[in-house]
Structure 1
């Protein structure tokens, strides 16, 4: 739910902290530049040059145009997110109305939320643990070797990336595949490097099991959430 900013002081405070939760609640007009912005815009106007508007229409009626930096006329997407502990450490999940958009492992809560904001720069981020509880539970279950409940996914990537991610989910638990094998599986045997890049860009840790992809010689290669986690996941799956 979008917070309510009833006073100009609260609105200005939201602008000063670039509060993305305030996006859509009001608009900031800047007299000196003739534009109106989202509260989270990276621009730093002076307070004396700022006016507040309830709607885009009101800002345009005042003779202002949309800021090209924050693009206040584009639809606002809301992402609910939450963090939780798993058998392999801290995890963050984020979901849109379409489904699970991000599920990552990490070690630092602040850094993980900052990474989320950087990945979705035009989204309104709302911390809502209940909205992502099922995703975090599914992640823990997958780490422990159990099949969690099926989740709707909001995968965002190129056609090749989505093909790679689907192929990864077809690799059975306890098994591995080389990057070259995955490339052949998607019908792009020449795209080994692109497969490796798609694995590195995988937005859904463990549920899309990029940890099951290894070098042709069987070496673990890299893992965006740490090689030790990759090793632990493979050992758990082989022992199951």
Structure 2
């Protein structure tokens, strides 16, 4: 592929990315969920930056500001993207499969995590949301914790809370495909790749499953190997087996 073709593909992908619309609309609600860099100026910005709109051929999106800095971009002096600090509230409670943590932003629930103890859960949350201000509030998240725990015994129950899905466009496409797998059913990584129209992306599908931060609400435990055996699970294969066994009995 020549340079002109690669540039056209880059522009097309940028314009299709929902983050482009958020950036062009200077959407303050998107601040902290992604950053964008501008090749022509050498800076990176937050979505709400009031600077002159960049051309799509010069724009790249970054899930974390550190990624933009590692790529050689410096913070914009106008919007100060390195000073953005999002606030998340989280709660911790018990579940039939161990301790459970839920975390929520202004946009919705952004994490449902299993763990052996509160310390391990908090460490996992800090690793996933390194640039956020975390506040524990079990009372405020009690109803959401109860909803998440209920998914273990009643997997066919809809999770009613709004989700704040954070990831690349590809990851979100995979996660939406996982949410379409009914309780009591499974799919292989290859089958998920076919469902999203990318038949050669089985490995990338597996990586997207591993990056999922919303246990059960985005049911990555329903994805198995092509031979029907269980593959790895971020929160342990035994939990994956237990979830699938409960769903089979439901």
1:6-25 aligned at under 5 Å gives the runs none
Tell me which of 219, 222, 234 is aligned to 2:244. 234
| Cα RMSD (Å) | 1.8
1:194 lines up with 2:186 in the alignment = no
Q: 1:72 to 1:177 in 2, by over 3 A?
A: closer
Superposed CA deviations along residues 120-145 of structure 1, whole A, max 9, x for unmatched, are 12211111113322321121111012
Which blocks of at least 5 consecutive residues in structure 2 are unaligned?
1-74
1:77-226 aligned at under 5 Å gives the runs 77-145=86-154, 146-226=156-236
Superposed CA deviations along residues 46-97 of structure 1, whole A, max 9, x for unmatched, are xxxxxxxxxxxxxxxxxxxx9xxxx786232110011000111101111000
Runs of 4+ in 1 over 3 A off after TM superposition: none
| The 10-residue stretch of structure 1 (106-115 or 188-197) with the greater mean CA deviation from structure 2 | 106-115
Size of the alignment, in residue pairs? 172
2:148–2:159 Cα contact (<8 Å) kept = no
Q: Which has the larger radius of gyration?
A: 1
What is the alpha-carbon distance in structure 1 between the residues aligned to residue 240 and residue 133 of structure 2?
A: 32
TM-score by length of 2: 0.65
1:139–1:148 Cα contact (<8 Å) kept = no
Which blocks of at least 5 consecutive residues in structure 1 are unaligned?
1-65
